[in-house]
Amino acid sequence: MFYDRVRIHVKAGDGGHGAVAFRREKFVPFGGPAGGDGGRGGDVVLVVSRHLNTLYHLAHQQQHVAANGEHGRNKEQYGAAGPHLEIRVPPGTVVIDTQTGQLLADLTEPEQTFVVARGGKGGRGNKHFASPTNKAPRIAENGDPGEARHVMLELKVLADVGLVGKPNAGKSTFLAATTAATPQIGDYPFTTLQPNLGVVALSVNDTFVIADLPGLIEGASEGKGLGLEFLRHIERTRVILHLLDGTALDPLEDFHVINAELAAFGHGLSDKPQLVAINKLDMPEARERFPKLKTQIAALGYEVLGISGLAREGTRELLGRVYQLVQEAPSPQLPGVGLPVIRPPEIADDTFVIERDRDGVWRVVGGKIERAVRRTPINYEESLLRLHGYLEHAGVLAALRKAGVQHGDMVRIGTYELEWQDEG
């Protein structure tokens, strides 16, 4: 089955904690601080693979977690960084943040990479906190958590030519006759349930990719039938090859219906070069209609050729003309190529707000304040005293007093809950 849209959850690795440790050296108080830094957590990285053409491999694995960084150790040994987690995706994958709806990246080139979630920074060890007045600090930092987010991966087929037409126009038969593709073929509507890609090789050096897209019906741009799910794949093509069933009740009406759907979908589809091929000339009815139908469509400004996909009549001439149009057409404008990661700043500013929950717990909300608390290991008294000084300097304690905090009240900052103690 073709998978062109998959939702996954990615979680980068947490940074390792810094260590509190001391050397054992003569004439150095307490041996001197020697706690190493924690390692950085691994990133989650999307990598474009030329060997993939669907998102099927991700359909049943929706949780992707990178490794954490190692904690720092004694003797100033840094913790190892967590290895990056690589997720392979096919060319044409668009990455969308499901929470914000923002386009994060548009991945089109083989081996192109995109960091979808950054690993957390490692905490500093106590060797960074030595000073002339505190030569043996028992202070370290916890590592930052890695980023986590839900993203939608959406695949847009990358093909030079988009093959469109009403159901049973003979697109799958044409593709099977002109490429090595093996689409399902049958005399009933919606045989094609997913795009089929095929490579047309006119010679060793003259090739192009053609995509047989699901049959469109009137109203496809409004969500009817199968067309809406796959219309977006045509956005990437340079040329549209429009196949008409020469034996249909009204081929000219079919032609107008399909073009109306392309125009309704927008995204510049109506502006792409379009070559019209009237198919099934092996049938007497279609061959008899062909001259009049060709004249009618040509009067609208379209180039028209006649073929029989089943008998392979006229297909070589048609492919040669399609190749010329592909060479003449400009490369498609792909929005978002090379977009950087769209994220809020790591630390917004020093602002914070004081709130009180229904259960009576006071909450301090502020990016930089919460990060400072999160990075403080609560098992070291000196680290807590340092945090107290920071909160005092930042005005958090004064704001809590002004808000009416009382002795014994619980104060929540991030995931930590601390009991308020009156001074003195």
Q: Where are the domains of the chain?
A: 5-155, 161-328, 353-419
d(CA 171, CA 50): 25
pLDDT, residue 347, reads 45
Class of domain 5-155: mainly beta
Least confidently predicted of 316-320, 414-418, 419-423 = 419-423
d(CA 4, CA 196): 12
Number of residues written out for the chain:
424
pLDDT: is 281 or 380 the higher one? 281
Contact 4, 54 (CB under 8 A): yes
Answer yes or no: is pLDDT of 338 > 60. Answer: no
Strand partners, 197: 211
pLDDT, residue 71, reads 94
Largest CA distance in the chain: 106
pLDDT, residue 231, reads 56
pLDDT: is 117 or 91 the higher one? 117
Q: Are strands 85-89 and 44-48 parallel, antiparallel or unpaired?
A: parallel
- How many percent of the chain have pLDDT more than 90? 28
Answer yes or no: is pLDDT of 97 > 60. Answer: yes
Mean pLDDT, range 132-153, rounded to an integer: 89
Rg, C-alpha atoms of the chain: 32
161-328 shares its CATH topology with 353-419: no
Closest CA to 15 of 66, 64, 63: 66
Q: What angle separates helix 171-178 from helix 315-328, to the nearest 10 degrees?
A: 90
Contact 274, 234 (CB under 8 A): no
Ramachandran class of 399: left when φ > 0, alpha when ψ lies in -120 to 50, beta otherwise = alpha
Mean pLDDT, range 345-352, rounded to an integer: 60
CATH superfamily for domain 353-419? GTP-binding protein OBG, C-terminal domain (3.30.300.350)
Fold of 161-328: Rossmann fold (3.40.50)
Q: Give the three-class secondary structure for 178.
A: helix
d(CA 279, CA 268): 26
Contact 400, 362 (CB under 8 A): yes
Alpha carbon 271 to chain centroid distance?
28
Phi, psi of 22 (to 5 degrees): -135, 145
pLDDT, residue 340, reads 40
